[in-house]
Amino acid sequence: MLNIYPQRKSPRAATSALWLDLIDPNAAEVREVETLAGFALPSRDDLNEIESSSRLNARDGVLSMSVPIVTHVEGDPPLVTPIGFVLSRERLITVRFAALPAFDAVAGRFTDSDKPPTSSLEVFLDLCDELVDRLADGLEQAATDLRTLSATAFHVPDSRGRKAIRSNNVIRAQLRHVGRLGDALSEKRDGLLALGRAIDFACGMTAGWGDVASRMDGLKLDIASLDNYEVHLSDKVQFLLDAMVGLIGIAQNDIFKILTIVSIVGIPPTLMASIYGMNFKNMPEYNWAFGYPYGLGMIALSAIVPLAWFKWRGWF
């Protein structure tokens, strides 16, 4: 799909447009824009390249930049989609393969704003500004989720008995949630770094295109601060991962301790039952009227004494 901004009904609308937005374009739409622009547009494979020379290049006054951005669909894992910016003095051409709210917000400024963008560079900076805002919102949401997980993991009373099993299941679910947050933060940082490089590149290559140096400096400062904040969140993710793995290990140790105590407590009664299970002729207890209750009492006592000792030692 091809969107043209500002939107006009004139046949020459595309020729005079400031912004041509291609969304998952077909071959005909790509050819149409390439014919209008006079140069080839990057393909999806080109936009997925990770080398700086592939993501940022300039030729004949036209800048080509590629930025990976994380998108979220309700119920699905985060999806990384590339965005291509082709910037010249006359127009900005964007190539993307997913719906992005940042682009919709900038498109709305052409009709709903008193001061719509007046140059291709302003459109580019508006898009970068919106992308940075949404990355910041994503980091804020991740921080909120991490605070909730931290409070749940470290500020609840210890579970005992059968509740401990349910608690372990909760910790495992939280561990998966922390892992998903770590993946999302990693993808967001890739987007921030790529966006920062693109803005630096555009800043150096568009000197004299307009009085936007202060906006570019502000965007670079925002990206630097968000990058530092993302590092802080990533450290917290790692801390929570280590802590939750430790909590699961402690719970497993508790289970093994219980099994060890049960096995040890069962040894003396087994020994007593084995002794009185021997059928030797001259065992005096066989002729004793209270021999059977005595044997049962010895078996019970041999189990109670180790339990009392373990309790005194604080093993359970």
Burial track 263-281 (b if 16+ CB lie within 10 A, e otherwise): eebeebbeebeeebeeeee
Q: What's the pTM value of the predicted model, to 2 decimals? A: 0.74
State how far the Cα of 128 lies from the Cα of 140, in Å rounded to an integer: 18
State how far the Cα of 212 lies from the Cα of 126, in Å rounded to an integer: 11
Give Cβ neighbours of residue 34 (< 8 Å, ≥ 6 apart): 40, 41
Average per-residue pLDDT for the chain: 82
- Confidence check: pLDDT of 285 > 50: yes
Model pLDDT, residue 248: 75
* Higher-confidence position of 8 and 3: 3
- Confidence check: pLDDT of 202 > 50: yes
Model pLDDT, residue 228: 92
Model pLDDT, residue 76: 61
Q: How many CA atoms lie within 13 A of 11 on its CB side?
A: 0
Model pLDDT, residue 166: 59
CB atoms within 10 A of CB 202: 23
Model pLDDT, residue 161: 45
Model pLDDT, residue 162: 47
With contact defined as beta carbons under 8 Å apart, do 178 and 237 qualify? yes
The 3-state DSSP class for residue 313 equals helix
Give Cβ neighbours of residue 287 (< 8 Å, ≥ 6 apart): none
Taking residues 303-313, report their average pLDDT. 84
The 3-state DSSP class for residue 41 equals coil
* Higher-confidence position of 71 and 158: 71
Residue 74 banded pLDDT, cuts 50, 70, 90: low
State how far the Cα of 173 lies from the Cα of 213, in Å rounded to an integer: 47
- Confidence check: pLDDT of 147 > 70: yes
